[in-house]
Amino acid sequence: MSSLRPARKTAGGLAQLTALTALTAVTAQPASAHGSAWQSPASHCTGTAPVVCHFDVPPGTYDVSVLLGGDTAGSTSVSAEQRRAVLGETVTAAGDRAHRSFTVDVRAVEGEPTGEVGSPGLDLRFEGSAPRLAGLKVTPATHARQILLAGDSTVCDQPLEPYTGWGQQLPQLLRRGISIANHADSGESTVSFLANSLLFDQLETSIHDGDLVLIQLAHNDKTTTADMYRANLTAMAERLEAHGGQPVFVTPIVRRRFNSDGTLNSVALHVMAADLLNEMRSLAAQLGVPLVDLTQMSKDLVEGLGVEASKDLYLTNINGDNTHTSAYGAKTFAGLVLGELEHQGLVPERQVR
């Protein structure tokens, strides 16, 4: 099998990042509890469906508050940077307003770390069946917690539809105060993720004390020996802990590949040069690293749905791809991950949307 690396889009070159611009209050809406007033979409946004907004801010973590609704009924979802789902579809009746907020990680490279540099600053898209935006504001999130992601194309911020990584859908499941910093990259193994300075090295420098770092790497470790796989994961865990981070091992989502009896085969379960799942499970116990067994959870889900219904989780019906997920599948798998993090007390219930 080839490495999991769908085609990338091309984008513009590096632009100089500018300082956070001052925002001018122009709406009649009252100021929020943060003390700053709502800003008119006209100051930073264009279009109506979608509404596209841009803020010239330097890399960092930002709280975004939005006021959704209008004179007519609306239904609005929000994505940030490179197709990150930060707010699910929100319905507003005619004349009503809904205040929602979320936290966004802003980096010079908006999506995959080895991808093209996008536009500098923060980009937001208000979509849905009838997007309605009445006001918004962006403020630095000086005390936000991070969940950083190390993974492959099943996790990353995919640039092109219909490809969607579960890390790309995770932000919408969390409330303001936690940002998802997705450092996952298509085609990566434990070997290549450590070797490329744009990947693990860059993630390592972004850690704040107490941050979670979820590691899902196995899809592309097809020729990695058991000893090398364990050594790579151990090196990651030790380096993360040295920087105050909390590593969390995540076994990979299954491939949708069935035996004739309706069970998933060995390829689906990532048994290749080594039984990578059991290596990760046993290493987590040995090192005392929390484990999210996404392989087992996704196996139970896919086998439970069966050959036909499970196609909707993947791109099977679109291009025959039984490895990469649809937006629906990615959100489903993100929910499994977050549910287990909450169950283990790694993410407080109050921060889950």
Tokens found for residue 66: 């939005």
Q: Quick one: pLDDT at residue 5?
A: 43
Confidence check: pLDDT of 164 > 80:
yes
With tokens 């991808």, the residue in question is 115
Share of the chain above pLDDT 70, in %: 90
CA-to-CA separations, 67 to 99, 136, 197, in angstroms, rounded = 5, 6, 40
Query: Each residue of 63-80: pLDDT tens digit?
Result: 999 999 999 999 999 999
Share of the chain above pLDDT 90, in %: 84
Tokens found for residue 25: 């209050």
Work out the pLDDT band at 276, boundaries 50, 70, 90. very high
Q: Quick one: pLDDT at residue 315?
A: 98
| Helix or strand run (H / E) with residue 318 | helix 316-319
The whole-chain average pLDDT of the chain stands at: 90
Work out the pLDDT band at 27, boundaries 50, 70, 90. very low
Stretch 43-58: mean pLDDT: 95
CA separation for the pair 24, 114 (Å, rounded): 36
Query: Each residue of 193-237: pLDDT tens digit?
Result: 999 999 999 999 999 999 999 999 999 999 999 999 999 999 999
Cis omega before residue 120 (within 30°)?
no
Work out the pLDDT band at 274, boundaries 50, 70, 90. confident
Work out the pLDDT band at 4, boundaries 50, 70, 90. very low
Domains of the chain by start residue, with CATH: 45-140 (2.60.120), 145-351 (3.40.50.1110)
Q: Quick one: pLDDT at residue 28?
A: 31
Stretch 16-32: mean pLDDT: 30
Phi and psi based region of residue 92 (left: phi greater than 0; alpha: psi -120 to 50; beta: remaining): beta
Work out the pLDDT band at 33, boundaries 50, 70, 90. very low
Query: Each residue of 78-123: pLDDT tens digit?
Result: 999 999 999 999 999 999 999 999 999 999 999 999 998 877 899 9
